[in-house]
A and B are shown apart, each in its own frame.
Chain A
Amino acid sequence: MIAPGTAQGVQAGRVRAAEGITAQVTVPRLVRQLAFDAVGVGVAAVMLFPIYWMVITALKPGRDILTLEPKWFPSPFTLDNFKDAIGRPFFLDDVRNSLVIVGVMLVLALLVSFLAAVATARFGFRGRNAYLVMIIAVQMVPLNALIIPLYFLLDSVDQVDALPGVIAIYLAVVLPFMIWTLRGFVANIPRELEEAAMIDGCTRIGAFFRITFPLIGPGLVATAIFGFIQAWNEYIIAYVLLSSPHNQTLTVWLASFTTNHGPEWGPLMAAATLTGLPVVAFFLILQRYLAGGLTAGAVKG
């Protein structure tokens, strides 16, 4: 069988030669592949187990949760724990608060971090390194230590126990990491593409918006996911600065399931599942826009 074209012929010959060599080692190679695959599945199982256990516990009736011999599957299966959790006071308020805080914060953060990312990825200027060091250094300050000063700050502008105050704080906390990540994505897009567009008659701004901006899409999505997770997870600031129950967030609501007698595991696991759900959903919805580029930003120095 002679392939048309010399190059392809040579290529085919190489492949056959390689196959000839591998033929002798096919069985060990197959075993090795199976071993790798088995380890991979094992890793996935170990990582996922805690989440599986949360969902399973949430679906069990109370008497099946506190057993010395654990039940691996929920039978009988019940939604009572979820009903219990949803029926607690302020659930809907807290869902709304969490969504508002994270949503508003995210829109502002994407806008601001995008500008900063372009500046630090595309321009060389005095103070650039100092700015980058500042971006990293800010993340070193323990947030818990700033609670009292932040309280005073919000108090001076009448924003204690109000959503805008918390939104502003989250914004400042989440921005540094978002800027850093997005900077990597912008730096990843070859400047030559913009230059080519400018040679073809685009203005600099035009080139940026027609060429670079569409390519940053996945970067914006990945950065949005980072910001979403960080803000959705935050507990201590919301706990201290949002004192009235109808102003609190879901993570604070979650803490209310632990009473003096210890946690009520069934409802708590149901509540935890509900709290985690929006993040997972946000992730899954946006994931297809990422095309594998979730952390491409970190890859480019």
Chain B
Amino acid sequence: MATATTADLEPASSFLRRQWLTGRLFPYALLTPSIAVIGGILAFPLGMLVYLSLQHYGLRELIAHQGEWVGAGNYQAILADPLFRQVVVRSLAFTFACVALTVVLSTLIALLLTRVRRAVRVIVMSALVFVWATPVIVTVDIWQWMFDYEFGIINYLLTQLHLGNFIHHNWFDNPVQGLGVLVVVVVWGAIPFVTITLFAGLLQVPGDLLDAAEVDGAGAWQRFRYVTAPLLKPIFLIVISLSTIWDFGVFNQIYVLLNQRPSSDYYTIAIYSYRESFGVSQYGLGATIAVLMVIVLVIVTLFYVRETVRQAEIT
């Protein structure tokens, strides 16, 4: 009753303001700053990237600020390039290995965290937070040091554990091994975020449901498969989407671990694009590869992103 009276006596100006605030334009007003920042800073570079991809653009053109229009020429050249096909397959395999390992290991650690005693949980969480907080560029330097062929601790440990003779073993001589090392480095860095996110989700799974399933005779795997996993679906979706986007774009790890001169055996699309641009000053071709990279990524993540946005519907 009191509210009704206040509303009746409200001054016209504040009434109008409330109309605006509750009105249809309000959400758009809230979005304006973010659209202005993201659009204002990224729209022109994105447009120019596509424009560059349609031009012959080398060092001379860069200095003259004037490219030579070649239409779809760059795209034809890149798509006909056998190296590009190799690079795409390698990038997809690398991304798949990283995402799969990250999600599986993180799920196991998150589940483990629900079973250990409190003190152990605090220890594991602190370790995860520490790893997460360490800058990537720092962690890459650390791994480079640990995998050093001469004085690296990894070679020493593997030799001591009698897993073979790893004295003076250079992990990056063989690209399969080298990429394996890179997967380890990427997964190690990705585990904290994914584990902590999944653990937060696990805490929200009602214990009653799990108890009921147990009473009905469900084993540990069945409880996970039919109770926990479906409830965590939205979290798995966002974690897989983001991991795929991040791992597909991995750059610093490869670039630094290979001393800024990765051989073409180590090219992922991101590295290939960068090398074309800044290694051999073919900025047009570099831009073309980058555009193709985004297209590949969109195709790969289409399903996950659609589901993720669907899960974000207002309920």
Same complex for A and B? Answer yes
Tell me if B287 counts as interface (CB < 8 A to partner A).
yes
| Contact bitstring A259-301, B, C-beta under 8 A = 1, else 0 | 0001101001100110110011011000100001111101101
A to B contact number (C-beta, < 8 Å):
290
Q: Report the Cα distance A132→B38, complex, angstroms.
A: 13
Q: Report the Cα distance A176→B129, complex, angstroms.
A: 22
Q: A145-B290, A263-B141 are in contact. Are A301 and B234 (CB under 8 A)?
A: yes
B309 and A68 within 8 A (CB): no
List residues of B (32-52) whose CB comes within 8 Å of A's CBs.
33-35, 37-38, 40-42, 44-46, 48-49, 52
Q: A235-B252, A275-B135, A298-B235 are in contact. Are A150 and B30 (CB under 8 A)?
A: no
List residues of chain B with CB within 8 A of the CB of A132: 309, 312
A153 and B44 within 8 A (CB): yes
Tell me if A129 counts as interface (CB < 8 A to partner B).
yes
Tell me if A67 counts as interface (CB < 8 A to partner B).
yes
List residues of chain B with CB within 8 A of the CB of A193: none
Tell me if A87 counts as interface (CB < 8 A to partner B).
no
Q: How far is the CB of A23 from chain B (nearest CB, A)?
A: 19
List residues of chain B with CB within 8 A of the CB of A229: 132-133, 135
B45 and A51 within 8 A (CB): no
List residues of A (219-246) whose CB comes within 8 Å of B's CBs.
229, 232-233, 235-236
| Contact bitstring B128-148, A, C-beta under 8 A = 1, else 0 | 111111111111011111101
Q: Report the Cα distance A115→B27, complex, angstroms.
A: 9
Identify which of A119, A140, A232, A265 contacts B145 (C-beta below 8 A): A265
Residue of B nearest to A113 (CB): B34
Tell me if B158 counts as interface (CB < 8 A to partner A).
no
B146 and A53 within 8 A (CB): yes
A201 and B127 within 8 A (CB): no
Identify which of B30, B153, B192 contacts A118 (C-beta below 8 A): B30
List residues of chain A with CB within 8 A of the CB of B130: 47-48, 51, 280
B115 and A269 within 8 A (CB): no
Tell me if A116 counts as interface (CB < 8 A to partner B).
yes
Most interface-central of A37, A144, A145 (chain B CB within 10 A): A145
B142 and A54 within 8 A (CB): yes
Most interface-central of B109, B145, B146, B196 (chain A CB within 10 A): B145
Q: A116-B34, A254-B141 are in contact. Are A129 and B273 (CB under 8 A)?
A: no
A140 and B117 within 8 A (CB): no
List residues of chain A with CB within 8 A of the CB of B286: 145
Tell me if B201 counts as interface (CB < 8 A to partner A).
yes
Q: Report the Cα distance A273→B137, complex, angstroms.
A: 11
Tell me if A40 counts as interface (CB < 8 A to partner B).
yes
Q: How far is the CB of A125 from chain B (nearest CB, A)?
A: 5
Q: How far is the CB of A184 from chain B (nearest CB, A)?
A: 8
Q: A133-B309, A298-B238 are in contact. Are A43 and B197 (CB under 8 A)?
A: no
Residue of A nearest to B47 (CB): A149
A67 and B131 within 8 A (CB): no
| Contact bitstring B97-133, A, C-beta under 8 A = 1, else 0 | 0000000000001001101110011011011111111
Tell me if B22 counts as interface (CB < 8 A to partner A).
yes
B270 and A142 within 8 A (CB): yes
Stretch from B70-78, B80-88, B173-181, B292-300 forming part of the interface with A: B292-300
| Contact bitstring B241-259, A, C-beta under 8 A = 1, else 0 | 1100100010110000001
A268 and B141 within 8 A (CB): yes
| Contact bitstring A59-91, B, C-beta under 8 A = 1, else 0 | 000000111111000000000000000000000
Q: A53-B142, A115-B34, A123-B26 are in contact. Are A142 and B293 (CB under 8 A)?
A: yes
Q: A40-B121, A118-B30, A145-B293 are in contact. Are A70 and B49 (CB under 8 A)?
A: no
Q: How far is the CB of A222 from chain B (nearest CB, A)?
A: 10
A40 and B113 within 8 A (CB): yes
Q: Report the Cα distance A205→B24, complex, angstroms.
A: 16
Tell me if A203 counts as interface (CB < 8 A to partner B).
yes
Q: Report the Cα distance A238→B128, complex, angstroms.
A: 27
Tell me if B151 counts as interface (CB < 8 A to partner A).
yes
Which residues does A use to contact B, with CB under 8 Å? 33, 36-37, 39-41, 43-45, 47-48, 50-51, 53-54, 57, 65-70, 111-113, 115-116, 118-125, 128-129, 131-134, 136-150, 152-153, 168-169, 171-172, 175-177, 179, 183, 187, 199, 201, 203-205, 229, 232-233, 235-236, 251, 254-255, 258, 262-263, 265, 268-269, 272-273, 275-276, 279-280, 282-283, 287, 292-296, 298-299, 301
The 17 listed contacts between A and B (C-beta, < 8 Å) are: A40-B120, A44-B126, A50-B131, A53-B145, A115-B34, A119-B27, A119-B28, A123-B30, A141-B290, A144-B277, A172-B37, A265-B145, A268-B141, A268-B145, A294-B196, A295-B197, A298-B197
The 10 A-B pairs of least Cβ separation, nearest first, read A145-B290, A149-B45, A119-B30, A301-B311, A301-B234, A172-B41, A149-B48, A123-B27, A44-B127, A116-B34
Which residues does B use to contact A, with CB under 8 Å? 2-3, 6, 18, 21-22, 24, 26-28, 30-31, 33-35, 37-38, 40-42, 44-46, 48-49, 52, 62, 65, 109, 112-113, 115-117, 120-121, 123-124, 126-139, 141-146, 148, 150-151, 153, 156, 167, 188, 191-193, 196-197, 200-201, 204, 234-235, 238-239, 241-242, 245, 249, 251-252, 259, 269-270, 273-274, 277-278, 283, 286-287, 289-290, 293-294, 297-298, 301, 305, 308-309, 311-314
